Amino acid sequence: MNLSERQRQCLELLDIDVWVRRNLPPERQANPAPATLPAKVIDEPAWQALRAEVAACTRCALHRGRTQTVFSAGNPAAEWLLIGEAPGKEEDRQGEPFVGRAGKLLNSMLAAMGLRRDDVCIINILKCRPPDNRDPKPEEALTCEPYLKRQIALIRPKIILALGRIAAQNLLQVETPIGRMRGQVYEYPDPRTPVIVSYHPAYLLRKPSEKRRSWEDLKFAMRVFREQS
Ligand code: URA
């Protein structure tokens, strides 16, 4: 694997031992230096209109407790789409997904993959914070689903990484436990997009011993991503 110093530091943060086999040709490296990202065009007026629609949403009771809606972070024209669960306290305050402690770990995970936040787009199943950070209720996820579907249709990502059980089960409409979803390539139907499932960064903060498995999932996702080209 051809690692930059930043990637090596991030892998250390993730408690991953780094073994480097030297002199591998680029095509055999697990994570070759990213080529210049192809320019993917997004319908910017439609994206901004959807953002405004979400900001004004009162479809469920969660709007009463929010400071603001949390629409997306990163680049909507990116090829990687990361989907989390719902905003937490800090996300509700700042209006951006994954900016709290879990977000810092997510940034390290991305850096270990050789990606910056601007190389990916990050969204959540819910756009409003559930009180006391409780799990989203099924009816809340259902009410918010049209926004999620429209976001995915506009982003047209090359790959989706579902972070955690709630994101994976709601996105794929399954009840499979997350442990059984890891290591599989699922397909999101519209537009047809491969989906890889891994642990939520907040879970990894509670259970750091699972970071090793999470890194296996991210490497798997990178392989699937490359195979799409
Ligand atoms: N957890 C999530 O699932 N999403 C966020 O935006 C923050 C924490």
- Domain ranges in the chain are 65-228
Could you tell me which of 106, 143, 104, 111 has the C-alpha nearest to residue 127?
A: 143
Kindly report the protein residue whose alpha carbon is nearest to atom 6 of ligand 1.
Answer: 97
> Is the minimum distance from the CB of 201 to ligand 1 under 6 angstroms?
no
Alpha-carbon distance of 57 to 62, in angstroms, equals 10
> Is the minimum distance from the CB of 194 to ligand 1 under 6 angstroms?
no
DSSP codes, 37-72: PP-----HHHHHHHHHHHHT--SSTHHHH-SS----
Domain 65-228, CATH: 3.40.470.10
Q: SS3 of 163, please? A: strand
Per-residue pLDDT of the chain (229 residues; tens, 9 = 90+): 456 767 766 676 676 655 555 554 444 444 544 545 557 899 999 999 999 999 999 999 999 999 999 999 999 999 999 999 999 999 999 999 999 999 999 999 999 999 999 999 999 999 999 999 899 999 999 999 999 999 999 999 999 999 999 999 999 999 999 999 999 999 999 999 999 999 999 999 999 999 999 999 999 999 999 998 7
For a mutational test of ligand 1's pocket, the pick from 85, 123, 178, 200, i.e. the residue with the most ligand atoms closer than 8 A to its C-beta, is: 85
Q: With a threshold of 0.75, does the pTM exceed it?
A: yes
Give the per-residue pLDDT at 149.
98
> Is the minimum distance from the CB of 96 to ligand 1 under 6 angstroms?
no
Closest ligand 1 atom to Cα of 122: 6
